[in-house]
Amino acid sequence: MNVLEVCDLTKSYGSTVGATDVTFTVGSGEIVGLVGPNGSGKSTALHCLTGLIPVDSGTVTIAGRILTDWRSKSAFGFVPDDLPVPELLTGREYLELVASLQVTPIDWDVTRGLVEALHLNSAIDRTIDGYSHGMRRKIQLVAALMHNPPLVILDEPFRGLDPESSAILKSILRIWSRTGKACLITTHDLLVAEQMCDRIVVLRDGVIIAYGTVAGLRERTGATTFEEAFARLTGIDVAVAAAEATISTLFARVSQASS
């Protein structure tokens, strides 16, 4: 069953196209990755499907409800990349504030378990202005999952996390998906995408240029790793080869001139 359905999502900013006819699904128990170079339309797509900005056309359906239905807002948790958190609140007060805004009951057992698993116990009663980037990321993850939604959307969730916290987050998301929940993540870390995602959506210039399993995308491009497949799909391999040729020539001239 599809928890998230994105159909022909299109968004422009004046004459600049942010996303064009973006269509994909995230099924129950799936982790789907949204990847692409800078300016590929990832942020536009993510902001549209979370309702932060209106779409020009297309539909977003979450747990059977169109995004414009206010009840769909309780069907997903969202962890943004820019970390907008009220710094004068303690971690506990922030979670209580989020809980007060939810229309669905909070699962406090899940909340306490996540706080413990993410090693936030000692910081939960401190104000957030003293939190590191990684701690802010963790408290937002707890806030996104505390009402036990069928879908969680995470924008660059591993950015700023130390290796231990990153490993714990990966475990949480894997366990989360095994319970039948759906997860959509954006990431620039292609190894994370390869390790974590059941399927991957590749965007470039606001358009989906590839969509499938990691194995399928590797096979399609004749690549041995997803990083290599991504480079071939997006044309990065050509750009890198051109840059290498230019730099090699430049350094050869510099070396010759100094000898």
The pLDDT tens digits for 57-95 are 999 999 998 887 766 778 899 998 876 789 999 999 999
Q: Please state which of the ranges 152-166, 174-188, 241-255 shows the lowest mean pLDDT.
A: 241-255
Q: Region of 27 please: left (phi>0), alpha (psi -120 to 50) or beta.
A: beta
Give domain status of residue 247, yes or no. no
Q: Which residues, 6 or more positions from 87, have their beta carbon under 8 angstroms from its beta carbon?
A: 127, 128, 129
Quick one: average pLDDT of 246-250?
78
- Is residue 242 in some structural domain? no
CA neighbor of 179 nearest in space, from 201, 158, 149: 149
109: in domain = no
At residue 239, the pLDDT reads 74
- Report the 10 Å Cβ neighbour count for 226: 25
Give the model's confidence band at 237: pLDDT under 50 very low, under 70 low, under 90 confident, else very high: confident
DSSP at 86: -
- Considering the domain boundaries, does residue 49 fall inside one? yes
Q: What is the pLDDT of residue 242?
A: 74
Half-sphere exposure for 40 (CA within 13 Å, toward CB): 24
Summarize pLDDT for 199-236 with one digit per residue, the tens: 999 999 999 999 999 999 999 999 999 999 999 999 88
- pLDDT for residue 83: 67
Does residue 173 register a pLDDT over 80?
yes
In a domain, 47, yes or no: yes
Report how far residue 65's alpha carbon sits from residue 102's, in angstroms, rounded to the nearest whole number: 17
Mean pLDDT of all residues in 183-189: 95
**Counted domains in the chain:** 1
Exposed / middle / buried, residue 240 (Cβ in 10 Å: 0-12, 13-18, 19+): exposed
Identity of the amino acid at 108? W
What ranges in the chain are assigned the alpha helix state H?
Answer: 42-49, 91-101, 108-117, 133-145, 163-178, 190-196, 214-221, 226-234, 236-258
Instruction: For residue 47, give the CATH number of its domain.
Output: 3.40.50.300
Residue 199 within any structural domain of the chain: yes
Residue 107 is predicted with a pLDDT of 83
Boundaries of domain holding 13: 2-81+151-212
Q: Give me the pLDDT at residue 103, please.
A: 73
The answer to whether position 140 is within a domain reads: no
Q: What is d(CA 217, CA 233) in angstroms, rounded to the nearest whole number? A: 9
Whether residue 160 is contained in a domain is answered as yes
* pTM (2 d.p.): 0.89
Tens of pLDDT, residue by residue over 101-144, are 887 788 888 899 999 999 999 999 999 999 998 899 999 999 99
